Amino acid sequence: MSDRPARRRLIVNGDDFGLAPEVNRGIVRAHRDGILTSTSLMVAAPAVAEAVELARATPSLAVGLHLVLVQGTPASPEAARAGLARRGGGFRESAIPAALLYFFVPRLRAAVADEIRAQLAAFRATGLRVSHVDGHLNIHLHPVAQRVLAEVAREFAIPAVRLTRDPLLENLRFDRRHAFRKTFEGTAFRVLSRIAERRFAPLGIASTTGLYGLHQSGACDETYLERVLASLPPGDFELYCHPAEADTLELQRLMPGYVHARELAALTSPRIRAIVADRGIELATYADLAAG
């Protein structure tokens, strides 16, 4: 029997790249000065051009697609005519009603497929190599989105997809607030992730053993990171978070209660970096998983 310690690999991903300059700069700083390894790009967000330039100037930062089908702007010019976008040009704001409509209304199912292709094409047009696909509010796990991503995976060279499986009981021992919401979300995303794994694995699309950040979304501060890193089991995991250099009024409007600047401080904390080193945790990207 080998005495070699079990391998622990952790992808640390910053979501919402392109949403705002403060987010863009926070993600790059968390990568250059901290433990962040990866980010997810919103291809139709207000600050996407700056994000792409920063990504090109930072080739060590892995970049995936942050698929947006709610609370954002479509990439497809056909979205409004198809009913996917509302008056004013944006997607629906509430995720659950939107998800139900996308499932039950054939016209919207077709529009979702067109929009996913448009966002993948917009990402490809940046010239960046797609590291993975995930989704705003984890909308990429919607059954329609899953099907479309599987159909176009080879065309757009999708190497990995986020499976949102955050250990619920472990999080509730850390923070018992919002227990009902966490239980509902955790159960729904675990079921959808199980379906996604069966769909994507035969296509050679990589995923992690588990994930952290769902139940602590917007509050991945230093105390939380220390807890996750200290108890990280063997395997391949993702931690996703939302760092930014400042909690602006617009970010507070879009994500009330999120502590973006505190997340950035945690990701760049010398104490957190020391825990990663002491535990022998390998900081990785989805490309590392896809490579084996």
Instruction: Tell me: pLDDT of 292 over 80.
Output: no
Query: Does the residue 35 lie in any domain?
Result: yes
Query: Does the residue 3 lie in any domain?
Result: no
C-alpha span between 193 and 191 (Å, rounded): 5
Q: What is the pLDDT of residue 87?
A: 77
**Do 208 and 236 touch, CB atoms closer than 8 A?**
yes
Query: What percentage of the chain exceeds 70 in pLDDT?
Result: 98
Instruction: Tell me: pLDDT of 2 over 60.
Output: no
Confidence grade of residue 5 (pLDDT, cut at 50, 70, 90) = low
Total count of domains within the chain: 1
Confidence grade of residue 86 (pLDDT, cut at 50, 70, 90) = confident
Query: Does the residue 47 lie in any domain?
Result: yes
- Nearest CA-CA partner of 238 in 260, 261, 220, 262: 220
Query: Does the residue 1 lie in any domain?
Result: no
β-strand pairing of 62-67 with 130-135: parallel
- Nearest CA-CA partner of 19 in 52, 56, 58, 45: 45
pLDDT tens-digit profile of 234-276?
A: 999 999 999 999 988 889 888 999 999 999 999 999 999 999 9
**CATH code of the domain covering residue 256:** 3.20.20.370
pTM of model > 0.85: yes
Q: Find all residues with CB under 8 Å of 61, minimum gap 6, and list them.
A: 27, 28, 31, 36, 37, 38, 39, 55
Q: What is the pLDDT of residue 88?
A: 79
In sequence order, which ranges of 126-269 are alpha helices (DSSP H)? 143-152, 168-174, 179-200, 222-231, 249-254, 260-267
Instruction: Tell me: pLDDT of 21 over 60.
Output: yes
- What range does the domain containing 105 cover? 8-291
**Do 124 and 107 touch, CB atoms closer than 8 A?**
no
Query: Does the residue 2 lie in any domain?
Result: no
Give the tokens for residue 18: 């392109």
Q: What is the sign, positive or negative, of the torsion defined by CA atoms of 259, 131, 120, 112?
A: negative
Give the H/E segment covering residue 121: helix 106-125
Q: What is the pLDDT of residue 276?
A: 98
Instruction: Tell me: pLDDT of 206 over 70.
Output: yes
Mean pLDDT of 183-210: 97
Query: Does the residue 104 lie in any domain?
Result: yes
